[in-house]
Amino acid sequence: MTSHQLAAGELVLLLDSKARRYLVTLTEGKEFHSHSGYITHAEIIGAYEGDTLRSTRGASYTVMRPTLSEFILKMPRGAQVIYPKDIGPILMMADLGPGLRVLESGVGSGALSMAMLRCGAEIVGYEIREEFADRARENVAKFLGEGVLDRYRIELRDCYEGIDEHDLDRVILDLPEPWKAVPHAATALRPGGLILGYSPSIVQVIQFRNALKAHRFVLPETIEVLNRGWYLEGAAVRPDHRMVAHTGFLTVARRGPRLDPLTEVVTDELLDLLGVQDEEQPS
């Protein structure tokens, strides 16, 4: 991001003297109202990030462009979002990058979509609720610009009923019953492609892991992310008293080997090589 002047249509954060943050879309003719008077958007348009402006009753506000996590925490939400503390690790675990073809379901409010789009991924989203699909598209366009919608197509459909895409690089699931999408993901992903599921409950994780195993996904891994803030004020240097103790578990695995071209089955040699134990065959 460059240090160019703030323009009409841009999103900005106004920070007050207590570091409270207000998200505003700059619009000619509008005003930002607070308990201490107002600032016209016209005064903010043409200012630079870091400038401090005064409201009509003398309170000062510093203007900044929001980061993606600030936007996620402030944006309009329909469904529950995945929080930034989990989104960061998801991008690494699912190895997101430019040009990767991703199936995401559901899209909810679009928080995770935004982060994956910003990595350069091309997303097809399956979402059953139209109002969430609309909200996700709006949020994505608002933060990343309309241009990114070329790489973001949402279809109103149930992911448990099938995935029409093929040769996908990634399948990313934030659904109540992700195991129901696993058989479809197993054929829609290319070998070596990754599947990732986000689930709040460990019972969901177990069912998901069982389905991954049954469909010969390999290298499964489940983690949770604990994020403990610290309080640093003079001699008081200690962890924060409160923390978010739980959000969800992250589970990742890879689409296993191709079928043997002659026999059309996965060979035991191949499975051995990948460290997958076949339970049907006593060892």
Q: Which residues bind ligand SAH (CB under 6 A)?
A: 79-82, 105-106, 108-112, 126-129, 132, 158-160, 174-176
Please identify, using beta-carbon distances, which residue of 182 and 276 lies nearer to ligand SAH. Answer: 182
Please identify, using beta-carbon distances, which residue of 30 and 129 lies nearer to ligand SAH. Answer: 129
Please tell me the distance from the alpha carbon of residue 4 to that of residue 103, in angstroms, as a whole number.
35
| CA angle 219–151–98, rounded 5-degree value | 50
> DSSP labels for 109-152?
TSHHHHHHHHTT-EEEEEES-HHHHHHHHHHHHHHH-GGGGGGE
Please identify, using beta-carbon distances, which residue of 112 and 218 lies nearer to ligand SAH. Answer: 112
- Minimum distance from residue 132 beta carbon to ligand SAH (Å): 4
Q: Which residues pair with 233 in a beta bridge?
A: 236
- Minimum distance from residue 131 beta carbon to ligand SAH (Å): 9
Please identify, using beta-carbon distances, which residue of 178 and 256 lies nearer to ligand SAH. Answer: 178
- Minimum distance from residue 177 beta carbon to ligand SAH (Å): 7
Please identify, using beta-carbon distances, which residue of 6 and 196 lies nearer to ligand SAH. Answer: 196
- Minimum distance from residue 94 beta carbon to ligand SAH (Å): 12
Ranges of beta strands (E only) in the chain are 11-15, 21-25, 31-34, 37-40, 52-54, 60-64, 101-105, 122-127, 152-156, 168-173, 189-199, 218-224, 230-233, 236-239, 249-254
Please tell me the distance from the alpha carbon of residue 83 to that of residue 91, in angstroms, as a whole number.
12
Q: Which residues pair with 222 in a beta bridge?
A: 251
- Minimum distance from residue 71 beta carbon to ligand SAH (Å): 12
